Homo-oligomer: A and B are copies of this chain.
Amino acid sequence: MKTIVQKYGGTSVSSIQKLKKIAEKIARDRVSGVNYLIVLSAMGDTTDKLVTLSNKVSKQPNPRDYDMLLSTGEQVSVAVLSMILNNINVNSISFTGWQAGIRTDSTSMMARIEAINVKKIKSEFMKKNIVVVAGFQGVDDKDNITTLGRGGSDTTAVALAAALKADECQIYTDVDGVYTTDPRLCIKARKLNKLTYEEMLEMAGLGSKVLQLRSVEFASKHKVPIRVLNAHNIGSGTLITKEEKKMEGALISGIAFTKDEAEVMIKGVKDQPGVAAKILGPIGDAKIEVDMIVQNVGSNGLADFTFTVSRNTLKKALQVIEKNKKTMMYESVISKRNIVKVSIVGVGMRSHAGIAGRMFKCLAKNKVNIRMISTSEIKISVVIDQKNLELAVNALHNEFKLENK
């Protein structure tokens, strides 16, 4: 028997009206002989309100209490959706995370799903009930309620799909699917019909906010086909699945970018082993995340060490560097706020040479100066001036003919 997992979150569950629309959609689209499991996030700003409540009490709340508090948000939405479904004679049952059999480790606020006992869910399927499960939460082996961290509902949906061996895990969002690049920046941007997990991981990691990184990793590991769909429109969305042989046709799948980066160049550091650790150690200790790292080989025994950080941590990073001048041993520091990172992503580059060359040539032709370069197996990223972002994305979109299927 076919099983479909559907996850609704964000603005599609922001009000009772929206939940009624979801219920109507479920009632209208369901196919007899298919089991449906619905995963929900908390309604609208419920989670933010609960976080505010917790902040009023303590800046560092007891993590177990925090999870106890936050998990109520999703419990409310599943109760309400199930009420609506039952009210329109679509038999349904609502489950919290623990009722759905979702067992996690004991890391409060950022728990990982360890196992799912789907016995109860399956017995509800036997009764032809639609099962509505609270996302974002589970229970550890001592029956403490845990939460999976922000966006954890995607992970709940994928994990349930894996445990149920579901045919598809459908993630409903505000957009029609995953695009070749941001349509607000490039009018030729096209919705992709298919993507590999690896490509989606690179896209998601680069700030394409459609799916949570963890849920894609989970899906990839358990080979769960994910389909990103628009909750408000009809369409086939984007299917994210494992790589197929015949996929080699597409060189590049998309262009991702992050706008909120800043660059730090530490000039005149000793070109010797251990220097990177001396610089990045204190930065990491200050909980500042470093993204790209480039070290130039220098002349006369000195090198330049450059890295990017999130723009809102730049000031703190510079303070850390200033404070650790003695151990870091450098000549000067130059920082630049107005930079962005642009990346081309595609499994095709594994088997095709010359992609990097085409990218750099295209940017040069458009007079876009490249500040930093970093590559992975299926991704090439460049750091450029923010003012060139739109130009670069459009030029690359044309260069790799992303507007064509």
Per the bound structure, the CA–CA distance linking A145 and B145 in Å amounts to 15
B145 close to A96 (CB less than 8 A): yes
Per the bound structure, the CA–CA distance linking A69 and B86 in Å amounts to 14
Residue with the greatest number of chain B CB neighbours at <10 A, chosen from A50, A56, A69, A76: A69
- Is A403 among interface residues, defined by CB-CB distance under 8 A? no
Residue-wise interface mask of A (37-74) relative to B, using a CB-CB cutoff of 8 A (1 in contact, 0 not): 00000000000001001101110011011101101100
Per the bound structure, the CA–CA distance linking A143 and B117 in Å amounts to 14
Residue-wise interface mask of A (81-123) relative to B, using a CB-CB cutoff of 8 A (1 in contact, 0 not): 0111011000001101001000000000000000000001000
Chain B contacts for A72, CB-based, 8 A: 72, 75-76, 79
Question: How many residues of chain A get a CB closer than 8 Å to chain B's CBs?
Answer: 35
- Is A78 among interface residues, defined by CB-CB distance under 8 A? yes
Chain B contacts for A16, CB-based, 8 A: 53, 56-57
Other 19 A-B pairs with CB < 8 A, given A65-B82, A68-B82: A16-B56, A50-B76, A53-B80, A58-B83, A58-B87, A61-B83, A61-B86, A61-B87, A62-B82, A62-B87, A65-B83, A65-B86, A66-B79, A66-B83, A68-B96, A69-B75, A72-B72, A72-B76, A72-B79
B82 close to A76 (CB less than 8 A): no
Q: Which residue of B lies closest to A72 (CB)?
A: B72
Least CB distance from A231 to B in Å reads 19
Give A contacts to B, CB under 8 Å: 16, 20, 50, 53-54, 56-58, 61-62, 64-66, 68-69, 71-72, 75-76, 78-80, 82-84, 86-87, 93-94, 96, 99, 120, 143-145
A68 close to B57 (CB less than 8 A): no
User: Chain A's interface: helix, strand, loop or mixed, by majority?
Assistant: helix
Least CB distance from A56 to B in Å reads 5
Per the bound structure, the CA–CA distance linking A50 and B83 in Å amounts to 13
Per the bound structure, the CA–CA distance linking A80 and B51 in Å amounts to 11
Q: Which residue of B lies closest to A84 (CB)?
A: B57
Residue with the greatest number of chain B CB neighbours at <10 A, chosen from A57, A66, A84: A57
Q: Which residue of B lies closest to A88 (CB)?
A: B58
Per the bound structure, the CA–CA distance linking A169 and B309 in Å amounts to 57
A65 close to B53 (CB less than 8 A): no
Contact of A94 with B58 at beta-carbon distance under 8 Å, contacts A16-B53, A76-B72, A99-B143 already known: no
A80 close to B57 (CB less than 8 A): yes
Chain B contacts for A61, CB-based, 8 A: 83, 86-87
Q: Which residue of B lies closest to A77 (CB)?
A: B69
Chain B contacts for A62, CB-based, 8 A: 82-83, 86-87
**Could you name 8 residue pairs across A and B whose Cβ atoms are closer than 8 Å?**
A16-B53, A54-B80, A57-B84, A61-B83, A64-B94, A66-B79, A69-B76, A72-B75
Per the bound structure, the CA–CA distance linking A69 and B56 in Å amounts to 24
Per the bound structure, the CA–CA distance linking A353 and B56 in Å amounts to 60
